[in-house]
Amino acid sequence: MSNDSSNGDFQDWIGREEAGSAKISPATVEAMAATTDLDSYPAEGQPLPPGWQWLFFNPKVRRSLLGVDGHPAKGGFLPPVPLPRRMWAGSRIRYLEDLPVGSNATRKSRILSVKAKSGRQGSLCFVTVEHTISAEDRVRIVEEQDIVYREPTPPQPGTAPEPAVHEATPQWTETVTPDTTLLFRYSALTFNGHRIHYDLPYACEEEGYKNLVVHGPLTATLLQQFAVKHGGDRRLKEFSFRGVAPLFVDAAFTLEGREKDETSLEIWARGPEGQLAMSAMAVFG
C-alpha cells in the first residue's frame, strides 16, 4: 500500500493492517485485580473480564521513538496526522466468545476510516480502527476504536461548549476516587507513556488540563465492571462508550446506571460537579 499522504487527507491509510500476539498472562490479570481493588480475580482457563483485553497487545516502542507527549511517534500504523494532541474517544465492542486467561491470543488491527472535521474547538481528525482478537483459531472480541487528534492548545474562553449534563435518574450509583497510584499502575499495566496521566507540569502547561487525567479506557473498564455487577448473571455481549469530558486525579466521580430494556443497561460516569464524563451502553446475551 502506498505511503503517499501528500494530499493531506490520509485516505491511503484506510485498509492498512498490523497484527500482534500476546499471552493473556495470569500475573497481569492478578495485577489488574489489585489495581482496581478487587477481592478476587479469574484463574487460568476462566474468562477474562470485559475491558481487560486492553492490558494486552500494546506496542512496546523504544523510548527514543516516542513523541513529546509520550505516545509512540505517528506515521507507523497510524497516519501521521499533523494535529499533535490525541486521545481515545470511544469504542464499540462485541464480545463474541470468552477470552480465557492463560490463552495465547492474536490481535489483527485495520484502519477503517480517517475523517477530518472542524468546529468550535478547532480542527479535529477522527481515525477509526478495527481490532479483532482471536484465540484457539476462534474470534473472541471485535472492537471499533475511535481515536481523535486535535489542536495543540486548549479552547480559548468562550469557545468551549457547556459541560454535558445527563438527566437520567440512576438505579445504581458507585463512587470512585482515582488517586495517583491508580493512574500510575494502570499506565504501567497498559505500557501507556502518555504524560497527561503522570506528568503534572506537562498535563497543565502543555495540554491545558487542570490536573492529571484519568485514562479513558480505565473509566470504560470500571463501567463494564459496574454493568456486569448489575446485569444479573448474564454475559456481557456488547459494550459501547463515548468520552465526553475528562476526569481528574483525586476528584471523586460516580458510576451510574439504569435498566434500558430487558437486555440492556444505560450506564455513565459523572464528574464531581455533576457533569457527564462518559456515556455507555451494555447489552447482555
Structural domain contains residue 3: no
Mean pLDDT for all residues in the chain: 90
For 141-173, give one letter per residue: b (16+ CB within 10 A) or e: bbbbbbbbbbeeebeeeeeeeeeeebeeebebe
- Give the pLDDT score at 7: 42
Does the model's pTM come out above 0.85? Answer: yes
Cβ proximity of 133 and 106 under 8 Å: yes
**Dihedral angle over CA of 36, 39, 43, 48, nearest 10:** -40
Cβ proximity of 83 and 151 under 8 Å: yes
Structural domain contains residue 23: yes
- Give the pLDDT score at 270: 97
Question: Any idea what the CATH number is for the domain that residue 115 is in?
Answer: 3.10.129.10
Structural domain contains residue 48: yes
Structural domain contains residue 154: yes
What's the domain range around 47? 11-284
Based on the number of CB atoms within 10 Å of its own CB, is 177 exposed (0-12), middle (13-18) or buried (19 or more)?
exposed
Structural domain contains residue 38: yes
pLDDT digits (tens, 9 = 90+) for 235-256: 999 999 999 999 999 999 999 9
Higher pLDDT, 118 or 15: 15
- State the total domains in the chain: 1
Structural domain contains residue 4: no
Location of C-alpha cell 487527507: 9
Structural domain contains residue 2: no
Confidence of residue 85 (pLDDT cuts 50, 70, 90): confident
Structural domain contains residue 184: yes
